[in-house]
Amino acid sequence: MGLRIRLSKQTLAVLDALLGRAGQWQHGYSLSQSTGIPSGTLYPILMRLEKLHWLETRWEEVKTPGRPPRHLYRLSGNAREWARQEIRAAQERHFWKPAGNEV
């Protein structure tokens, strides 16, 4: 297993959102929309997950000239299982519930 960290409720929400479309690349704004986490909180979480190698990132190819390329995120192969374990453990501890059922 990769580096284990103490996960906050917001981090668990981001992991849950990433797991919801596991294997697919997601944009920062869509993650913010699905989790309700503002950009100022979301990006430090993404930065930390990338540093721990839980997150794969890449730049999108420019589709519309004049618009900057967007950054894409998805969980790394191993991180998907770690994230599931963490989410399960958090739910068992009643620390966190998925969106809509949150404590």
Partner 1 sequence: MSVSIQANSTAARLARWLLGCAVRHWPEETRPWGLALAAEIDETASAFETVRWSLGGIMLFTRSVLSGAWKWMKLPAGSSLSDGVNRPKGPSLLPKRSRVFTTVVLGAAALLLALPEGREAILTVRASWQEYQQSDSDARKLEGLADRAEKEKDASTLAFVALSTGDPKRAEALTERAVELDPQLVWIYGSKNRSWPNFDSPKAEWLAQLQASDPDNAVAYLLAADALDPLRIRPFYRRGIPKDAEFEVAESDSKWMALMERAYGAPRYDSYFQRHYQLTRTVWNREKNLSPAIVFSGLRSHAIPSLANLYLFADVKYTRHRRRERRGT
21 binding partner 1? (CB under 8 A): no
Dig out the tokens for 84 from the structure: 């599931």
Nearer Cβ to partner 1 (46/87): 46
Cβ proximity of 25 and 73 under 8 Å: yes
In single-letter form, the type of residue at position 86 comes to: E
Q: How many residues bind partner 1 (CB under 8 A)?
A: 19
28 binding partner 1? (CB under 8 A): yes
**46-85: contacts with partner 1 (CB under 8 A):** 46-47, 67-71
29 binding partner 1? (CB under 8 A): yes
Q: Give me the torsion for CA of 90, 96, 97, 101, rounded to 10°.
A: 160
Q: State the minimum distance, in angstroms, from the CB of residue 94 to partner 1.
A: 29
18 binding partner 1? (CB under 8 A): no
Residue identified by tokens 């479309």 is 21
Residue identified by tokens 């690349």 is 25
Q: Which residues pair with 58 in a beta bridge?
A: 72
Residues that bind partner 1 (CB under 8 A): 27-30, 32, 38-44, 46-47, 67-71
